[in-house]
Structure 1
Amino acid sequence: MLRAALCYPYNVSSAAAYALVDNYSGSSLLSSFNFFTDRDPTNGHVKYLSQADAQNQGLVKIDGTSVYLGVDHTNKAPGGRPSVRLQSKKTYNRGLFILDLAHMPSSTCGTWPSFWTWGDSKLWPINGEIDIIEGVHTNNVNAMSLHTANGCTISGSSSLGRVVTKDCYVQATGQTSNAGCGIESSSGTSFGTPFNSAGGGVYAMEWTSSAIRMWYWPRASVPADLSSPSPNPANWGNPQANFAGGSCDYNNHFIDHRIIVDTTFCGDWAGATWASNPSCTALSNSCTDYVANNPAAFAESYWKINSLKVFRQ
């Protein structure tokens, strides 16, 4: 079978071109997203701030067309480390999402940064979740995943990354609870400190009726057409993650998603895996104690977003 057919089960040549519908950067990014201030749904040792409070404390800054989203790295935080979680005001159903990052939170014990989309939180996981950038602690490699209700599986064939799990159902038999279907990037600069050392880069997620795919390029390898009015995923080769090839109705499992970017600490993933990370346990027996009492460790735990663009066919 031809490589293009492996990557794209639909007819690429007949697909409509992508057109830009939203371009978020600088002040337009902040005005188009809400600041989430409720309790962290993932039980993190975090205190999410309002936009006013975050800006007053220097956790949110606009630098030309770029946006800095940081965490408190000055004060001890026994009640949760101050951070931000942004959620798009608009919802989306399918499209091409391109995130240009100058910096993401570094590979630091206790951290759990994410760039993702999901449907109505009250209906989770019925309306699905798409994790585009995610990792914890000292991870250097990005973890991409989907989380759904029962009835969505993938093969992951033609992914450049390593297929870890194939059932996207959050309670799938034989998988860790809430693992979903997961693919680990093949790139050693795809997450955290190595990503930043390489000068940042670009992530793209294409969500169609037949698949969800994710690409990553370090700064020096970004395809030229990503800056064009109509980027074409057919030119990009195999994706890092090809969530396709199994049995899944993508239109019914992924509905009305908001775009989210956040940095939390400890919680359901980073907290649960603290004891299995020797580098972290050498610092403290407890994730929450370390995060609460070592503010300077989180000076590099920030996002610097150059732009986020959304295209539709």
Structure 2
Amino acid sequence: MHIGYAAVYLTLVVIPATCARFRIADTFKGRDFFDGFNWETLDDPTDGRVNFVDKSTAMKSNLSFASADKFIMRADHAKVVSPDDRGRDSVRITSQKAWDDSTIVLDLSHMPEGCATWPAFWTLSQQGPWPHGGEVDVIEGVNLQNSNLASLHTTPDCIMDTQRPQSGSTVSTDCDATINNNQGCGTQFTVPKSYGTSFNNAGGGWYAMQKTAADGISVWFWSRMDPDVPAEVRNNNDSISPKSWGMPSAWFPSTNCDYASHFNAHEIIFDLTFCGDWANSVYPNSGCGGDSCTDFVNNNPSAFTKAYWEVNSLRVYTT
């Protein structure tokens, strides 16, 4: 659960960068997701009002489908959910592979939006057990939020400075998952159109996350029509140089967080849950009306017509 905000600050500090370029290692586009990802059916660890379905069920129910150049995964938006059911049908997928030092670039046209929603795009140690090996939340938000939150969740002794070279605003600084109700160390984005309805109305955009022992973890965001989108990102180049992309929206250096003892090879996860520990706790003040979050999920299927991911491509680069 991530609650709280901090003031925006300005800095002239330059992020240290290596000279390494990254080269394409894996590309997921359209139907590639059906071969490279697993559909998970576990009970939601965040206590969401959700029923994650397997791949066969997702495909038969049209909750997961693809064309040559689009991949869609969504929540059910047709059925009223019985109080006795596990929750509203939705999808959680995890990559079969894991990558260590790498940069991932997600070209996204649409993310889930709306009351009671809690979508996330994140990476997680494949070795685990969680939080060993770390977690990096690249895209995350709830309800009618309009800006993205990027966070780390780790074992103890991983601390971030409040002021560091990033365009986003520091929310929390202790990444230890065992304190502050697993808030982690988070950065709220201040660039416009980074999450939810505003992101979707702008045609989506690109998220990129670099994770290396040398430079720590950085997350960038560019809206679809942003003139500052790096050409190598917009053009899906096979070779990229993140050091040329400018200040990230969020930066988590290894200054007070030893990389080797907190992070290892990560798998990639997309999911969409409802209510749960975070979205439910802030629901009464979200502007979503008088029903409880659970009642809203159960009784308003048409409210979830825009609760879907539309992915153009996911590209993983390694050094």
When normalised by structure 2's length, the TM-score is 0.90
2:212 corresponding residue in structure 1: 208
Question: Superposed, which structure 2 residues align to 1:159-170 within 5 Å?
Answer: 159-170=166-177
For the 8 Å contact 1:152–1:246, the answer to whether it is kept is no
CA distance in 1, matches of 2:67, 2:152: 33
Query: SS of the counterpart of 1:102?
Result: strand
Q: Aligned-pair distance for 1:245?
A: 6.2
Shift of 1:205: 0.2
Q: CA deviation at 1:275?
A: 2.4
Change (3 A) 1:177 1:100: same
Q: Which residue in the other structure is 2:252 paired with? A: 243
Match of residue 90 from structure 1: 97
- 1:41 CA displacement: 1.2
Counterpart mapping for 1:139-288 below 5 A: 139-155=145-161, 157-172=164-179, 176-209=180-213, 210-221=215-226, 222-226=229-233, 227-244=236-253, 246-277=255-286, 279-280=287-288, 282-284=289-291, 286-288=292-294
Change (3 A) 1:260 1:152: same
Any idea what SS the aligned residue of 2:182 has? coil
Aligned to 2:55: 51
Report SS of the residue matched to 2:277. Answer: helix
Counterpart residue type for residue 45 of structure 2? P
User: Partner of 1:6 in structure 2?
Assistant: 14
Q: Return the offset for 1:5.
A: 6.6
- Preserved CA contact (<8 Å) 2:98 2:266: yes
State the shift of 1:4 in Å.
Answer: 9.3
Instruction: Point out where structure 1 has 5 or more consecutive residues left out of the alignment.
Output: none
Identity of aligned residues (%): 40
Q: CA deviation at 1:36?
A: 0.2
SS at match of 2:307: coil
Cα shift at 1:298:
0.4
Q: Distance in 2 between matches of 1:169 and 1:308?
A: 29
1:25 matched to 2:25? The reply is no
Selected match of 2:46 from 42, 45, 51:
42
In structure 2, relative to structure 1, the CA distance for the partners of 1:163 and 1:63 (3 Å cut) is: same
Shift in CA distance, 122/223, structure 1 to aligned 2, threshold 3 Å: closer
2-side partners of 1:49 and 1:170: how far apart?
A: 27
- DSSP-derived class of the 1:202 partner: strand
Runs of 4+ in 1 over 3 A off after TM superposition: none
Q: Which amino acid aligns with 2:217?
A: I
Q: In 2 relative to 1, CA 20–121 (structure 1 residues): closer, same or farther, beyond 3 Å? A: closer
Unaligned runs of 5+ in 2: 1-10
Contact 1:6/1:157, CA 8 A, preserved across alignment: no
Q: Match of 1:288, SS?
A: helix
Paired residues, what number? 300
- Kept in 1, the 8 Å contact 2:12–2:165? The answer is no
SS in 2 for 1:123: coil
Pick one of 97, 102, 112 that aligns with 1:105.
Answer: 112
